[in-house]
Every structure is written in C-alpha cells, then in structure tokens.
A and B are shown apart, each in its own frame.
Chain A
Amino acid sequence: MASHRHSDPPSDPALRVKALESLLTEKKLLEPAALDALIELFETKIGPRNGAKVVARAWTDPTYKKRLLSDATAAIAELGYSGMQGEDMVVVENTPAVHNLLVCTLCSCYPWPVLGLPPVWYKAAPYRSRAVIEPRAVLKEFGLELPESIEIRIWDSTAELRYMVLPERPAGTEDLKEDALAKLVTRDAMIGTAKVAGPSR
C-alpha cells in the first residue's frame, strides 16, 4: 500500500526477528546471550506471585495496608518489587460496595513488577474497547456477575501510572497465615476480572 513505510516485510514474524537480531549482532550492537538472562527474569521471577504476596501482606498487616493505599510504589518496594513499568504505582481497594477494574485502552500498560507481563486478552481490542463502556458485560464474560448495587470503577492505565487491585479477603480465611493467603490470590483478581475464592475444602 502507498502509505507503507518500506517494502513489505515477510509474513513470518520469526524470520523478521531473526533478521533484526542478526543485523544488530553483526553490527556488534547486540549480545543475544545477554538478552536471554533478561527474558528469563520475566519467565521465572517477575509475575503475579509477587503481587499476591503484596495482597496477602495487606490482608494481614493493617499498617502495611495503610501504607500500600497511600504510597503504593514505596510499600511494594518494601517487599522487594520495583523497576520497569512499575515506577509509579497506585493500589485501589475492592470493598463490599466498590469493585475496581484495570484496563489500558491505548495499549498495554500493566504493572510488570507485581503482575509480570499481561495476558493476550488484556492487550487485545475487545477488552480494551469494551472495559470502559460495558464493564458489567465484560466481567460476565469472565464469570463474574456483580449486583447493580456495587459501583464499578475503571482505571485506565498510562505509561506513567500503573494500577493494581487489592481484592477483598474471602470469608473463611481467618485462620490462614500470609503464605497460605498469597496462594489464593490470582492474577485476574488483581486486574479486577475476578474475585478471590476461599480455600477449597
């Protein structure tokens, strides 16, 4: 097409990545092995288990929760999580009256240090277009039906500001310790497309 910036690239994206890596390596601008170490961090260390620990701490330590809701970036860093795409964090709390839901309508902004890389649906057109206009229908597709009496608040993430939902602690978990609580917390509960279910019996 006329507006295209250059000759059409091959349809196989694997070939295109290989071409870029190969060119940059020939120019000594890239050390492919060094990239592996970075990628592996996101495959093994950075993911929603981190956010789950933040949530469990907030559920068990009221003073931590207070810090988390007033200065999330600093409170999350207390547990060792910080860095790229989490430089400025805001945590929003679900209550019996308010349910929070995160989206990035413009692209894919997501709090990497606590949730890892976003799932495909979070970055795709249906969720991004619909979350802000029909959140109840969207939540229903995730299996979450909320009564009309519950207010839904949508938080549209930006490159500068990333959100995380502090879900409600489920009933029946009064005797659980922090570690056991963290195991109950799912990625979707911290995005707001699910609630945290109680322990299975």
Chain B
Amino acid sequence: MNGIHDLGGMHGHGPINSEANEPIFHAPWERRVFGLLFTMFSGGYCNVDEFRHAIERMAPAEYLSTSYYEHWLHAMETLLIEKGVIQQRELASKWAALGKGQM
C-alpha cells in the first residue's frame, strides 16, 4: 500500500536543511522518546515492522507537519493503546494532570 511515507521522487518539499555540528537529540524529550523504543521492543509490545506501520498510518497532514520523534510518539501511543497495555482514557487523564502541573 502506498501512503504519505512513500516520499521517493515526490516534488515540492523544498531545500535540504542540514545543520552543522548537529546534536544527537535536539531536546530532552527526544532523548526520552528514543529510549522508549527499547521498552516497546523488550516489552514485546511491537516489532519494528508494526512500529513503522503505526507511523505510516498517520494522517498525511499530521505526518508532514510533525517532527521525526513526534512520529515515534504517535506510534508508541497508538500501539500501546491498540495492544491494551494502556487505555486511552488513562492517557488523556495523565495529559490533563501533567498539563495542570505545568501551569
């Protein structure tokens, strides 16, 4: 199946913005998302193909407007909910609780 992830040969994406002396992670949260990948695999919640497929299932506009590690976050939330490891409502309450804590 093709999809928005199948970018090879597509026009209109503009110039390549390479960054000199780029850090491995651009924010502490990216570092944590990267680490969670190992939990996804070691916990048996998904394999690499399921993980990639969860990214490929993103809505095209969301896929193109979010960063790489946001794709990972999306895949992790999607798969943990689909596999029943966490519940959508638990996650939403956690978002709300943490959001209040940050005010």
Residues of A at the B interface (CB closer than 8 Å) are 1, 3-7, 9-10, 13-24, 27, 29-30, 35-36, 38-39, 42-43, 47, 103, 105-108, 116-117, 119-121, 123-133, 138, 141-142, 156, 159
Give Cα A38 to B37, complex, Å: 10
**Shortest Cβ gap from B97 to chain A (Å):** 8
27 contacts between A and B (CB under 8 A): A6-B92, A13-B67, A13-B73, A14-B27, A16-B73, A16-B77, A17-B29, A19-B94, A20-B36, A22-B94, A27-B85, A30-B36, A35-B36, A35-B39, A36-B35, A43-B24, A43-B25, A105-B6, A107-B55, A120-B67, A121-B18, A124-B68, A125-B64, A129-B7, A129-B8, A129-B9, A133-B11
Q: Which one of B19, B22, B91 has the highest number of Cβ atoms from chain A below 10 Å of its Cβ?
A: B91
Q: Are A128 and B8 interface neighbours, CB within 8 A?
A: yes
A132 pairs with B8, CB closer than 8 A? yes
Known contacts A7-B92, A19-B95, A132-B8; is-contact A121 B19 (Cβ 8 Å)? yes
- 13 new A-B contacts at CB < 8 Å, known A17-B32, A107-B52, A124-B17: A5-B81, A24-B85, A29-B43, A35-B35, A107-B55, A119-B22, A120-B19, A120-B68, A124-B68, A125-B7, A125-B10, A131-B8, A132-B8
Identify which of residues 48-85 in chain B touch chain A, using a CB-to-CB cut-off of 8 Å: 48-49, 52, 55, 59, 64, 67-70, 73, 76-78, 80-81, 85
Q: In the complex, A117 Cα to B37 Cα: how many Å?
A: 13
How far, in whole Å, are A17 and B9 apart by their CA atoms in the complex? 33
Known: A7-B92, A105-B6. A24 touches B17 (CB 8 A): no
* CB–CB A129/B24 < 8 A: no
A132 to B11 CA separation, bound complex (whole angstroms):
11
Q: Which residues in B have some Cβ–Cβ distance to A below 8 Å?
A: 5-11, 13-19, 22, 24-29, 31-36, 38-39, 43, 48-49, 52, 55, 59, 64, 67-70, 73, 76-78, 80-81, 85-86, 88, 90-92, 94-95, 98-99, 102
CA–CA, A160 and B102, complex, Å: 42
Find chain A residues with CB under 8 A from B31 CB: 39
Top 4 closest A-B pairs, CB basis? A105-B8, A35-B35, A14-B29, A19-B94
Find A130's partner among B16, B29, B39, B67 (CB 8 Å cutoff): B16
With both beta carbons as reference points, the residue of chain A lying nearest to B48 in the complex is identified as A159
Q: Which of B25, B38, B70 has most A Cβ within 10 Å?
A: B38
- Taken together as a complex, chains A and B put the C-alpha atoms of A14 and B95 apart, in Å, by 11
Instruction: Check A39 against B7 for contact (C-beta < 8 Å).
Output: no
How distant is B68 from chain A, measured CB to nearest CB, in Å? 5
**B52:A9 contact, CB within 8 angstroms:** no
Q: Tell me if A13 and B7 are in contact (CB < 8 A).
A: no
Q: Which residues of A contact B94 (CB under 8 A)?
A: 19, 22-23
Q: How far is the CA of A38 from the CA of B31 in the complex (A)?
A: 11
Q: Which of B7, B10, B26, B38 has the most CB of A within 10 A?
A: B7
